């Protein structure tokens, strides 16, 4: 009897070990996510990043293209019902006054000529002071980073519902209140750009073209521009290492590139686009608006191209249309995570909010102000994060190691 119990115990143990081995093999094969980072020591050559396109193939045998709504993270900008009739009537109105300007932002330490190595432009809304402070105190700090001169601006419109047309007394009072607050913030930090259009989700395209026009005029000699949302974490050191071998006089727009995403035709969706506005079955390739980088040369070319392209109510798709006009293909980079860090299917309990992930990346989207502050200090503390690998992992598919 005891012999049979021993055999039964051995069999159970064998099955358990076999199941564990199978899970490990499955994790090794299907490990999700990619990590990339340039080497920390200047004498080592940087590994070539693995290009990663979010490719949505044409439908076949009943399959459908992935829709734009499922591939774009939530924007911090307020959303609401969209009046397409009003949009079509006013879509050619693309020039709005600049209410708060920073004309000297790109002066290079007072020296004549030249410009900053990197201009950080962050989309924000008036009420989101907490996020702006988090960016100022962490990854968006101005000054010298690894020898590169970094400057910062926040891009804002007039708060929605504040009576930007001044038609009613209550709206005018609210508008005056917000403008006074933003002027005080601008005096304190010298980084606010405010235009006289309503700050709504579908007016992000206006924010795009007005920023391109502003940067071309007031930051004409900038080497590179990073443009993103206020809820992203950016590893500026990794970004600068990626840009170090690049020529700012050559075309570059890099980020989380999405191709063959189709328009949403469901009226209930906030991304609903009727065929009267866009009749093609798929959008051109575009970089996710959560965060991307472009060269000074591309900045000027885009400013001119976007002035000739009909406005479209989704800003990152509109930018893809401008790139298409230039016959310029956006460059995919696996360290731009505008959809966050995916939870590995083989390790559902793994904590992805970990500095050992973030030290390998350039952009991660979808963080609170507290998360941004915390991650920054975990990465830039006196000793840095205690990670399994003493050196950054090479670019490519994530692998589960021993």
Residues 393/20, Cβ–Cβ less than 8 Å? no
Instruction: Give domain status of residue 85, yes or no.
Output: no
Half-sphere exposure of 397 (CA within 13 A, CB side): 9
Q: DSSP letters along 362-399, please?
A: SEEE---HHHHHHHHHHHSSSS----SSSSPPPSEE--
The mean pLDDT value for 33-57 works out to 40
Burial (CB count <10 Å: 0-12, 13-18, 19+), residue 10: exposed
Asked whether the CA dihedral 225, 158, 310, 214 is positive or negative, the reply is negative
Is 312 a residue whose pLDDT tops 70?
yes
E-only strand ranges, 146-285:
148-159, 192-199, 224-229, 232-234, 253-259
Over the chain, what is the mean pLDDT? 78
Q: Which of 9-23, 87-101, 234-248 has the highest mean pLDDT?
A: 234-248
**Sequence-separated (6 or more) residues with CB below 8 Å from residue 347:** 27, 400
Residues 244/137, Cβ–Cβ less than 8 Å? no
| Structure tokens belonging to residue 163 | 């009576």
Instruction: Give domain status of residue 402, yes or no.
Output: no
Neighbours of 24 (CB within 10 A): 13
The interaxial angle of helices 315-326 and 204-218, nearest 10 deg, is 50
Q: Which of 113-122, 203-212, 271-280 has the highest mean pLDDT?
A: 203-212
Instruction: State the pLDDT at residue 91.
Output: 65
* Cα angle for residues 228, 95, 329 (degrees, 5° grid): 45
The mean pLDDT value for 123-151 works out to 96
Residues 330/257, Cβ–Cβ less than 8 Å? yes
Helix (H, G, I), strand (E, B) or coil at 192: strand
Instruction: State the pLDDT at residue 18.
Output: 52
Is 225 a residue whose pLDDT tops 50?
yes
Q: Whole domain around residue 156: which residue ranges?
A: 94-335
Instruction: State the pLDDT at residue 82.
Output: 57
Instruction: Give domain status of residue 367, yes or no.
Output: no
Is 187 a residue whose pLDDT tops 50?
yes
Instruction: Give domain status of residue 102, yes or no.
Output: yes
Cα–chain-centroid distance for residue 48?
22
Is 120 a residue whose pLDDT tops 80?
yes
Q: How far is Cα 259 from Cα 53, in angstroms, rounded to an integer?
A: 7
Q: Which of 41-55, 173-187, 204-218 has the highest mean pLDDT?
A: 204-218
CATH of the domain at 206: 3.90.550
Q: How far is Cα 359 from Cα 387, in angstroms, rounded to an integer?
A: 10
**Sequence-separated (6 or more) residues with CB below 8 Å from residue 268:** none
Higher pLDDT, 354 or 323: 323
**Model confidence, pTM:** 0.76
| Structure tokens belonging to residue 220 | 């004409």
**How many Å is the maximal CA-CA distance in the chain?**
93
Instruction: Give domain status of residue 355, yes or no.
Output: no
Instruction: Give domain status of residue 131, yes or no.
Output: yes
Instruction: pLDDT band for 292, please (50, 70, 90 cuts).
Output: very high
Instruction: pLDDT band for 282, please (50, 70, 90 cuts).
Output: very high
Neighbours of 170 (CB within 10 A): 10
Instruction: State the pLDDT at residue 200.
Output: 84
Instruction: State the pLDDT at residue 93.
Output: 76
Burial (CB count <10 Å: 0-12, 13-18, 19+), residue 112: exposed
The mean pLDDT value for 287-312 works out to 95
Instruction: Give domain status of residue 87, yes or no.
Output: no
**Sequence-separated (6 or more) residues with CB below 8 Å from residue 18:** none
Q: What is the pLDDT of residues 61-115, one digit of tens each?
A: 344 444 444 444 444 343 455 566 666 666 667 889 999 999 999 987 555 557 9
Q: How far is Cα 375 from Cα 380, in angstroms, rounded to an integer?
A: 8
Residues 195/210, Cβ–Cβ less than 8 Å? yes
Is 387 a residue whose pLDDT tops 90?
no
| Structure tokens belonging to residue 74 | 């939530």
In this predicted structure, which of 10-24, 126-140, 279-293 has the lowest mean pLDDT? 10-24
- Per the structure, the count of domains in the chain is 1
Is 35 a residue whose pLDDT tops 50?
no
| Residues above pLDDT 70, as percent of the chain | 68
Higher pLDDT, 8 or 297: 297
Instruction: Give domain status of residue 353, yes or no.
Output: no
Instruction: State the pLDDT at residue 350.
Output: 76
């Amino acid at each position: 009897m005891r012999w049979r119990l021993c055999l039964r115990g051995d069999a159970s143990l064998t099955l358990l070990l076999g199941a564990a081995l199978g899970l490990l093999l499955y994790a090794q094969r299907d490990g999700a996510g990619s990590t990339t980072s340039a080497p920390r020591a200047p004498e080592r050559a940087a590994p070539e990043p693995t290009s990663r396109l979010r490719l949505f193939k044409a439908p076949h045998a009943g399959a459908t293209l992935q829709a734009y709504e499922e591939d774009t993270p939530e924007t911090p900008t307020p959303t609401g019902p969209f009046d397409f009739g009003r949009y079509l009537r006013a879509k050619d109105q693309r020039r709005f006054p600049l209410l708060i300007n920073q004309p000297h932002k790109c002066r290079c330490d007072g020296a004549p000529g030249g410009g900053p190595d990197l201009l950080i432009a962050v989309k924000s809304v008036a009420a989101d002071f907490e996020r702006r402070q988090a960016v100022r105190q962490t990854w968006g700090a101005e000054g010298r980073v690894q020898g590169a001169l970094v400057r910062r601006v926040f891009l804002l419109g007039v708060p929605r519902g504040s009576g930007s047309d001044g038609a009613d007394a209550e709206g005018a009072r609210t508008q005056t209140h917000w403008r006074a607050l933003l002027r005080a913030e601008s005096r304190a930090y010298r980084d606010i750009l405010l235009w006289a259009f309503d700050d709504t989700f579908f007016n992000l395209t206006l924010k795009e073209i007005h920023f391109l026009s502003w940067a071309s005029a007031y930051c004409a000699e900038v080497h590179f521009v990073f443009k993103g949302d206020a809820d992203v974490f950016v590893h500026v050191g990794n970004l600068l290492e990626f840009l170090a071998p690049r020529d700012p006089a050559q075309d570059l727009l890099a980020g989380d590139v999405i191709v063959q995403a189709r328009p949403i035709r469901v009226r209930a969706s906030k991304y609903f686009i009727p065929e009267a506005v866009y009749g093609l079955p798929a959008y051109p390739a575009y970089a996710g608006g959560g965060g991307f980088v472009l060269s000074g040369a591309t900045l000027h070319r885009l400013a001119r191209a976007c002035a000739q392209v009909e406005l479209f109510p989704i800003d990152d798709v509109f930018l893809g249309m401008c790139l298409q006009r230039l016959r310029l293909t956006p460059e995919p980079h696996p360290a731009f995570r505008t959809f966050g860090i995916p939870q590995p299917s083989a390790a559902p309990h793994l904590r992805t909010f970990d500095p050992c992930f973030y030290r390998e990346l350039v952009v991660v989207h979808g963080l609170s102000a507290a998360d941004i502050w915390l991650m920054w200090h975990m990465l830039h503390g006196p000793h840095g994060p205690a990670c399994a690998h003493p050196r950054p992992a090479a670019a490519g598919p994530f692998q589960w190691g021993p």
